[in-house]
Structure 1
Amino acid sequence: MIKVAMTSVYVDDVTKAHAFYTDVLGFETRASLDLGGGTLFVTVGAPEGAQQDLQLLLEPGQGPIAEPYRRAVYDAGLPAIVFSVDDIDAEYGRLRLLGVRFTHEPQEQGPVIAAVLDDTVGNLIQLTQPKG
């Protein structure tokens, strides 16, 4: 059986992204390594033992391939990644109180209720909750 072990999201600033994804979104740090030369390898994942085998790499988004790709996805209004939540209204309220900017409030989209937020490091992130 093949499973997803790690996926990545390009970010403008790994340190700022790490703070946002842990302090605001509530993920836990899985790895934080200084590779030298100003390069950081940072992964985060779901807290409290959930999905221990799945990590999100906060990938440096500078460079001739990553930067145009990240900017085009953002400018098109497309989420770079989708996270699931148990109670989207509660998460939306909690994150708004923390100053998170949403590009659209929770609304029904097919089989889910979805909202989109700006992660402050160059990406739109979609939160989803299954309907019913």
Structure 2
Amino acid sequence: MVDDVAKAHDFYVGTLGFQVRDDVTAGDYRWLTVCNPGEPDGTQLLLEPKGHPAAVPFTAALKSDGIPLTQFLSEDVAAEYEALKAKGVTFTMEPTDVGPSIIAIFDDTVGNLIQLVQLKKQLSVRPR
């Protein structure tokens, strides 16, 4: 959920380097999905307007409390931090070792905090 979809486009595509997958306008509303440029059929991130009455207070409370809305995995949080900082991205937490992972948190400019996570050990998935 974002404050401004056009501004979100500029940040997520122009600054973070995501690729637009879908861009849908319906009346006054616009929804945008972006993906990793190397994986156009992979996971998509939906950037949608805060149209529901609960969206604004919900996201404002998370941000005020310093809680990220979502997180992205990274193989090297320190390198991502330096590269994004050089592009003008504002971080609220520098890379920090928190035990099983290293995390950093940045402001996405459209109302959310986003966490970068580097796992120190690969998670294994056990078959059921």
Q: TM-score, normalising length from structure 2?
A: 0.88
Superimposed CA distance per residue, residues 62-103 of structure 1 (whole angstroms, 9 cap, x where no aligned partner): 442110101011111000000011111111011111111100
Which residue matches 2:91?
Answer: 102
RMSD: 1.3
- 1:76 paired with 2:68, answer no
Higher relative strand content: 1
CA contact (8 A) 1:73 1:80 kept: yes
Question: Separation in 2 of the partners of 1:19 and 1:98?
Answer: 13
Structure-2 change in CA distance of 1:41 and 1:70 (3 Å): same
Question: Separation in 1 of the partners of 2:79 and 2:73?
Answer: 13
Which residue of 20, 27, 31 corresponds with 2:22?
31
Which residue matches 2:124?
Answer: none
Which residue of 10, 14, 17 corresponds with 1:19?
10
- 1:47 paired with 2:37, answer yes
> Which consecutive residues of structure 1, in runs of 5 or more, have no partner in the other structure?
1-9
State the Cα distance separating 1:110 from its structure 2 match. Answer: 2.3
Question: Separation in 2 of the partners of 1:31 and 1:63?
Answer: 21
Which residue matches 2:118?
Answer: 129
State the Cα distance separating 1:30 from its structure 2 match. Answer: 0.7
State the Cα distance separating 1:19 from its structure 2 match. Answer: 1.1
Question: Separation in 2 of the partners of 1:44 and 1:98?
Answer: 19
CA contact (8 A) 1:61 1:70 kept: no
